[in-house]
Amino acid sequence: MAQLLGGLFTSHVPAIGGAIAKGLQQDPYWRPFFDGFAPVHRWLAAARPDTVVMFYNDHGLNFFLDKMPTFAVGAAAAYRNADEGWGLPVQGNVDGDPALSWHVIETLVDHEFDVTTCQEMLVDHAFVVPLQLAWPGGGKPPVKVVPIAINTVQHPLPSPKRCLALGRAVGEAIRSWPGNARVVVFGTGGLSHQLEGERAGFINKAYDLGCLDALGPDPDALARQSALDIVEQAGSQGVELLNWIAARGALGDDIREVTRNYHIPISNTAAATMLFETRALALA
């Protein structure tokens, strides 16, 4: 059976990708964020995952406002990164895991989630930057991927409760997969930030830290909010917390926090990193 090893939660700001491309990881502005990944790299080297199931949100590269699925799951053999206009280097294709993708899709449909199935899918910085952070140094990441895109852009937005339920169903799918994959889930985006309007540059440190404290022991507390509550507390783009909530749902209850890091600001964004491992890995 597949083994769910743990979960990585991280910001995915395009400026992070720019800093990587320019080699600015040890610049004083960026170092507090990038240094937070040292324990993540050690953990990944020891855990040796071969598949990442990534909960993220598309920013108009693959889906736009005329066609915005609430939940979309990739089922491709490979995923192509394309130019978004941020000046980021375009990355090479990332290998997919179609067999696991279809198992996830079928499990979600069994749980009455009406997902959009994508047999071709472009992936943007929200997908690529976390892989670069997890496996630095350039080159192709040493994992296959299953992308799960959540609408955090166009209203109506899915509720945190629904995203947590989605994640729990995905976790069930991973654990019931008869293959021998070693799987890590990623939740990407946030934390608090707003890029437009009167609150442009908004960061809510107290709210962010409260979310980090609750994410491990009490994800249901985060799910008792509405999506609009998150927008009010974390900013219009801070609603990317939905990706974290979904990924947390996949992990189940028997987990241990490995590391966390919080740094502000990065490009008008509150940047955070958290890593949990499951009991199954701790006993391995």
Just list the catalytic residues: 125, 193
Whether residue 251 contacts residue 5, with contact meaning beta carbons closer than 8 Å, is answered with: no
Element (H, E) at 109: helix 98-110
Q: How many CB atoms lie within 10 A of CB 221?
A: 14
Whether residue 91 contacts residue 223, with contact meaning beta carbons closer than 8 Å, is answered with: no
Tell me the angle at which helices 125-134 and 14-22 cross, rounded to the nearest 10 degrees: 50
In sequence order, what DSSP letters do the residues of 226-249 get, joined into one string? Answer: -HHHHHHHH-TTGGGHHHHHHHHH
The C-alpha atoms of residue 99 and residue 77 are separated, in whole angstroms, by: 9
Cis peptide bond prior to 191, omega within 30° of 0: yes
Element (H, E) at 168: helix 160-176
Specify the residue for token string 């895991």: 97
The C-alpha atoms of residue 223 and residue 247 are separated, in whole angstroms, by: 12
Residue (of 242, 238, 250, 245) closest to 208 by Cα position: 238
Specify the residue for token string 């974290």: 244
Residue (of 156, 135, 137) closest to 145 by Cα position: 135
Specify the residue for token string 């729990």: 168
